[in-house]
Amino acid sequence: MAKPVLLSVDDDRDVLRAIERDLRSQYGADYRVIGSDSPEAALDLLKQLKLRNDSVALMLADQRMPNMDGVGFLQEGMRIFPDAKRALLTAYADTSAAITAINQANINYFFLKPWDPPTEHLYPQLDDLLDDWKASYHPAFQGIRVLGTRWSPRSYELRDFLARNRVPYQWIDVEQSANDPETVRLLEALGPEASNLPVVLFPDGTRLLESVPAEVAQKVGLRTRAQTDFYDLAIVGGGPAGLAAAVYGASEGLNTVIVEREAPGGQAGMSSRIENYLGFPNGLSGGDLARRAVVQAKRFGVEILAPQEAMSVRTEGSYRILKLADGSEISCHALMIASGVQWRRLEAPGIDRLQGAGVYYGGGTTEALSCQGESVYVVGGANSAGQAAMNFSKYADRVVMLIRGGSLSSTMSQYLIDQIKATPNIQIWSNASVAEVHGETHLEEVSVLCSDTGKVERVPASSMFIFIGALPRTDWLSDVVERDDRGFVLTGPDLMHDGKHPKGWSLDRDPYLLETNVPGIFAVGDVRHGSVKRVASGVGEGSVAVQFIHQYLSKV
């Protein structure tokens, strides 16, 4: 954590060096001493310190300086750091001005030049000032700060990206905090750049304007480029199946890389609570599961590229070659497709226009706190929707689940149904679907079609979260890997037709259980045709597939 700052300002450089020397000698262990020979430059420095979220404990300024005297500087500095202690350095002839400054300009103290010896004429008084400052000092957040607005899709995308990649950050909604003095001072320090939202401020003082996840990823050190161009095993997708395969593969000596489009954890990583995962009787969040798995994978040397996307694949002899979104390529002997699925789009007027501004796909964990006292609609009746509803019920005034069927019994685990029934602010609206959403800059109302009556009811809503089934993103595999009519990857026995090998199969054996029509390319988890859509199942497939990969590699 950065030390609080003691700032001294004097246009006489000899005096400035002397006061810096004495300040460092007495307070250097607990404070950073910074000097400036210009009040204008010192004000610019204070703005930079504000943007870095640093703390200023003391501003000590000479009274007689050209263009701006010490009192003028301290008054301007007080607007930026109002809690900092303020003191003047004065000559004997300026004592009347110093006394007036104390009485009228909120200056805390004045020191006469020269102050020798400092043990009598400087340190005792500064000790009192700094002790008083420390009594009410609360260390500022030391990390990334994101400035934006709640209903901005780009702000939501950025916050969701940081949260899913477990990058600590502080969210500042400049509209909701418009009357907060600290936010006002921060925006003033930004100046005209404050209009380029979302703005990301970093602890080193740098900032990104109109930020996008890829820029932030590079700045915070998330790896998007491979360290080498060849791996024993390359895995596309960092959900439970991909992470399990990486852990088992790397622990058994395979040089392994994961290519993840968004953040490790996949859809499971967005789940607010997983109650039925073996070994966790009290349940755990998807984020916790992903975090544990990532730590485990990295411990075995797995390289994780995120955010990074696979764009195409080709084969050259025994090599399987991935082309990535940045134009780079990775070659490997064994390739695993574990890219999971994405939420199916809801087709209704207004959905696309308001996405990220009240309409969201998936868990929306970053939005839960913002829903306090509001009405939230959850569209869908499977476990993911139920878990989200339970999470939002802790914050929202009312959570309404819109389900197409007459009940949850055919789509949701019984333990979740029981929890939902026992939660008084969750309501089930059965035989219902979204007909339209309304709002100018953000979601304000939802039109709900009741299939049993044929009537459409328009209701107020601030947020809507959509969980209506999922489809794979596998277009990049076209013309190489066989898929079913919905895009799920075919493996093992599903490739065999009348006992015949798939077209182009070159080996004298049948495809392994989790192997595609291309030898050495495997598919596991939700992206695979016929898979069981459960976290435990994905983990099991990822670990089992490694054994087939070893068998394949032994003959390459």
| Domains and their CATH numbers in the chain | 5-135 (3.40.50.2300), 144-220 (3.40.30.10), 230-342+517-553 (3.50.50.60), 351-468 (3.50.50.60)
Relative to beta strand 207-208, strand 199-201 is: antiparallel
What is the Cα–Cα distance from 510 to 516, expressed in whole angstroms?
10
What is the Cα–Cα distance from 111 to 120, expressed in whole angstroms?
11
What is the Cα–Cα distance from 73 to 366, expressed in whole angstroms?
41
For 220-251, the pLDDT digits (tens) are: 888 989 999 999 999 999 999 999 999 999 99
What is the Cα–Cα distance from 535 to 268, expressed in whole angstroms?
7
Query: What tokens appear for 129 in the block?
Result: 């000032």
**Residues sharing a CB contact under 8 Å with residue 99, sequence separation 6 or more, in sequence order:** 110
DSSP-assigned letter for residue 497:
B
Counting every residue written for the chain, the total comes to 556
Instruction: Check: CB of residue 52 under 8 Å from CB of residue 34.
Output: no
What is the Cα–Cα distance from 491 to 469, expressed in whole angstroms?
22
The pTM assigned to this predicted structure is: 0.82
Instruction: Check: CB of residue 488 under 8 Å from CB of residue 527.
Output: yes
Select from 426, 442, 446 the least CA-distant residue to 381.
426
Query: What tokens appear for 36 in the block?
Result: 């400036």
- What integer pLDDT is reported at residue 325 of this predicted model? 94
What is the Cα–Cα distance from 498 to 46, expressed in whole angstroms?
77
- What integer pLDDT is reported at residue 306 of this predicted model? 92
What is the Cα–Cα distance from 221 to 445, expressed in whole angstroms?
40
- What integer pLDDT is reported at residue 364 of this predicted model? 66
Instruction: Check: CB of residue 489 under 8 Å from CB of residue 521.
Output: no
Crossing angle (nearest 10°) for helices 181-190 and 39-51:
120
Select from 265, 267, 271 the least CA-distant residue to 285.
271
- What integer pLDDT is reported at residue 1 of this predicted model? 67
- What integer pLDDT is reported at residue 191 of this predicted model? 93
Residue owning tokens 């000698």: 25
- Surface-to-core class of residue 88, CB atoms within 10 Å of its CB (0-12 exposed, 13-18 middle, 19+ buried): buried
pLDDT tens for each residue of the chain, 556 residues long: 689 999 999 999 999 999 999 999 999 999 999 999 999 999 999 999 999 999 999 999 998 898 899 999 999 999 999 999 999 998 876 677 777 777 767 889 989 888 999 999 999 999 999 999 999 898 888 889 999 999 999 999 999 899 888 888 999 999 988 899 999 999 999 999 999 999 999 998 899 999 888 889 989 888 989 999 999 999 999 999 999 999 999 999 999 999 999 989 887 777 777 888 888 888 888 888 999 999 999 999 999 999 999 999 999 999 999 999 999 999 999 999 999 998 899 999 999 999 999 999 987 677 888 888 899 999 999 988 999 999 999 999 999 999 999 999 988 999 999 999 999 999 999 999 999 999 999 999 999 999 999 999 999 999 999 999 888 999 999 889 999 999 999 999 999 988 889 988 989 999 999 999 999 999 999 999 999 888 999 999 999 999 999 999 998 8
Q: Is the dihedral of CA 238, 240, 241, 245 positive or negative?
A: positive
Instruction: Check: CB of residue 266 under 8 Å from CB of residue 473.
Output: no
- What integer pLDDT is reported at residue 73 of this predicted model? 94
Instruction: Check: CB of residue 490 under 8 Å from CB of residue 482.
Output: yes
What is the Cα–Cα distance from 493 to 515, expressed in whole angstroms?
9
Q: Using DSSP, state whether 521 is helix, strand or coil.
A: strand
Q: Using DSSP, state whether 450 is helix, strand or coil.
A: strand
Q: Using DSSP, state whether 289 is helix, strand or coil.
A: helix
- Surface-to-core class of residue 242, CB atoms within 10 Å of its CB (0-12 exposed, 13-18 middle, 19+ buried): buried
- What integer pLDDT is reported at residue 546 of this predicted model? 97
- What integer pLDDT is reported at residue 138 of this predicted model? 87
Query: What tokens appear for 229 in the block?
Result: 């161009």
Instruction: Check: CB of residue 433 under 8 Å from CB of residue 449.
Output: yes
What is the Cα–Cα distance from 303 to 301, expressed in whole angstroms?
6
